[in-house]
A and B are shown apart, each in its own frame.
Chain A
């Protein structure tokens, strides 16, 4: 054929050498998803072959030339029961199996490292806890569970990594999560799969899976100097959050130290779990999230903090285990001289105080 059309020839050669029926299996989930896929293909083939065999077989046996007289048959309860129960049973297996896989994909292990991803028209912005930012690419270590916390800044997007068999809708105003554990080094496709406007098909990127050591080297090499929590601390001070959330008995807002993942009582008596979504919503919609014993006086920060800023704040509050530094910032800004000596800082605050972050300019008086 190559003498007819070299282009067609090349195309065919290319096809035959690169023809894939499956994407690479590059995560711990992928083999499980593929197993279910094969089961579903198997039952589909059985069903299809059965229907085709019945139609073709009866068409041959009872065609008019061979069987000029039709025999009228009303039906058969036994047969009806058979083709109700057997498909139902097979579908139930597909249901249970699918449910198990679903819970596996959407329930992250507790030791997963968390990476934030913000979707916006038409790019993906990943934020590693160490403060590394990436656009349209994501570096992850091999063999370590990684949880992604996703949020959109504008419309619906969807974060899809076919090689990992995972996907999660990225929704404006709401955190969604997905996790995976990469099992194969390499570079894989990242697609936005929810139609999001003009350049939807350009909202793509790459997932790079690296050996843990290489990943460490990469994080060292691409740090911006400040972790997300440090950015958050800075924002916390500059927005004046510390004025109310100082953690004193007299503070007007609740104490935020070690509040993450605890159950708190709300003004209406119900209990809520303080997770990422709760923290984010409390900043944007404070009156809807007033804790028992506090007045609904916090103003909304809707439109004042970017999604990235909210992530920084959430990350900061998640890691906040003492109010010492908040009070210190407060004291330095309100009272000229701090009552406490730097030495006691180090002692009372443990390890955290050692990685000092510069407070927001204008908040600390020299």
Chain B
């Protein structure tokens, strides 16, 4: 079987007369919409706003760390900076990033549905997100919060007089938005697939979103309960976590990480879905080992719930329970390795082109491999003792979350931008942005691995002078990274008006979303599609294109 795919001529492409974008005008038509595509755009605007707020805090943190003494801002201010950076980036950017924007937009179309199962709950989810975001901003404007994004007790309950309750409730509310998104995706995938769209014909993007949704629905309530307990302990001193009242401070760690470790997979799994689509499309090949990649997502979702105590190896849990959690941690690393190798082999005998989404996807594969393998360092109990709570762990999760997830997000945004807006982004500039991001990222975070092994603790406003060189490198890298993130924001905005018109399927991709006009109609499909071909069937696509050409000619 061999496939030749030639990209369509975009010079003749025209914007469709009717699309979800011009189906109703005015603020009200957006704020009261039930359309998953419009909600996705609302989400995209709001998470971009919070991304740049979080990035500002990151910039302040890096600026303070340019010099060893605590000289730019007061220690308290510094603590607020990294706390707000963490809270905003984790709960208001990373968790909703791919699922609530790209997932919301394309998942229903991919399964051949007109919308998500519960459009109103979908809108409610956005409002809850905004409510959580506004409360976070309120906590910020009232004077900030300095618990660290982990809300560790008893520090958060008894020893700080900042806006812990406001921030905690903000995360609580934002958590429900992610529960609703997850719930909607699960029901949609189960109940709303088009005729012929069997489970094993679903794009891998849907599989990974399904797995992430299960984690959202089962994990987030535990975080909600934990935060409520923190708030109650702070307000009325119920003593669940306070050892002086017979509470157990380690219980908080167990509860918090029972959500927050799966949360890492909530963040990364949707990104993995993007990578599957992008790698397949730009090598014009079915994803190598489809079933293995699909089931590795499920395996990650299952194992994710049984590894939380690896965050507590040094906290005096029993040596034997540490042993079990370390073993399970090693097991959860395997499905990620399976995915990486399957993506690499998808390229084998493909016909590869290197558009911007593909460059970001390559960036993802390299950086996620480093991020994943350094996770094995931390899962190895004895090594974890030296590395945990240092910059090594900071570097590790930024490699996974920023090097992995953010690269995947940018890859996906560029990939589906023509579908969302009907227009192309500027290819040359976006390739430059991908390169700048990659270089800036490595310069920022690679030195932090070395700093971590040298023993530099995280969350330090001041540090011994011998760590300065590596910190200067890291701060320099953060500056480059900042440019790398500003560029897409600028040229994507520019492209809304001046970008080339994309046409329905500029990449010649096989997903259902590429078989309809760009931007899509409010109802997505003019008639319900019948699916009689496998996912990533480029043979079918080539025949269909030939047929269309013949009918037109």
Contacts and interface: CB of A to CB of B under 8 A. Distances in A.
Interface of A: 11, 14-15, 18-23, 32-33, 36-37, 40, 43-44, 47-48, 51-52, 54-55, 58-59, 62-64, 67-76, 79-80, 83-84, 87-88, 91-92, 94-95, 97-107, 121, 154-156, 158, 160, 162-163, 165-169, 171-174, 176, 189, 191-202, 285, 302-303
A23 B464 CA distance: 13
A95 B380 contact: yes
Contact of B351 (A51, A70, A73): A70
Contacts of B3: 69-72
Contact of A62 (B159, B250, B349, B538): B349
Interface in B2-46: 2-5
Q: Which 8 A-B pairs have the closest CB atoms?
A: A101-B382, A162-B455, A173-B243, A98-B380, A102-B381, A58-B347, A75-B289, A193-B389
15 contacts: A22-B453, A44-B370, A47-B337, A70-B350, A70-B351, A80-B342, A94-B330, A94-B377, A98-B326, A98-B384, A101-B383, A156-B155, A168-B385, A189-B455, A197-B159
Interface stretch (B91-99, B173-181, B308-316, B524-532): B308-316
A121 to B, nearest CB: 7
B334 A58 contact: no
A63 B365 contact: no
B469 A11 contact: yes
A103 B385 CA distance: 11
Contacts of B316: 168-169, 171, 174, 176
Given A83-B341, A99-B382, A59 B469 contact: no
Interface in B313-328: 313-316, 319, 322-323, 326-327
Contact of B347 (A54, A94, A98): A54
A32 to B, nearest CB: 8
Interface of B: 1-5, 70, 75-76, 79, 146, 148, 152, 154-155, 158-160, 243-244, 246, 249-250, 283-286, 288-292, 313-316, 319, 322-323, 326-327, 330-331, 333-334, 337-338, 340-342, 344-345, 347-354, 362, 365-366, 369-370, 373-374, 376-377, 379-386, 388-390, 450, 453-455, 457-464, 466, 469, 472, 538-539
A197 B147 CA distance: 7
Contact of A75 (B154, B292, B389): B292
B382 A97 contact: yes
A37 B383 contact: yes
Nearest to A157: B155
B323 A58 contact: no
A160 B288 CA distance: 46
B5 to A, nearest CB: 7
Nearest to A102: B381
Contact of B376 (A55, A91, A171, A191): A91
A91 B450 contact: no
Contacts of B75: 198-202
Given A40-B380, A76-B289, A48 B458 contact: no
A309 B2 CA distance: 80
Nearest to B246: A285
Contacts of A55: 344, 347, 362, 365-366
B418 to A, nearest CB: 19
Contacts of A76: 288-289, 345
B345 A98 contact: no
Contact of B70 (A72, A201, A302, A303): A201
A156 B311 CA distance: 14
Nearest to A168: B314
Contacts of B362: 55, 59
B383 A70 contact: no
A19 B473 CA distance: 13
Contact of B345 (A67, A79, A156, A172): A79
Contact of A201 (B286, B337, B350, B462): B462
Nearest to B253: A156
B249 A72 contact: no
Nearest to A12: B469
Contacts of A58: 344-345, 347-348, 350, 352
B244 A302 contact: yes
A15 B471 CA distance: 12
B265 to A, nearest CB: 17
B424 to A, nearest CB: 19
A157 B348 CA distance: 51
A95 B459 CA distance: 28
Contacts of B379: 91, 94-95, 98
Contacts of A105: 382, 385
A63 B353 contact: yes
Which of B2, B4, B70, B337 gathers most chain A CB within 10 Å? Answer: B337
B453 A23 contact: yes
Contacts of A173: 243-244, 249
A11 B466 CA distance: 11
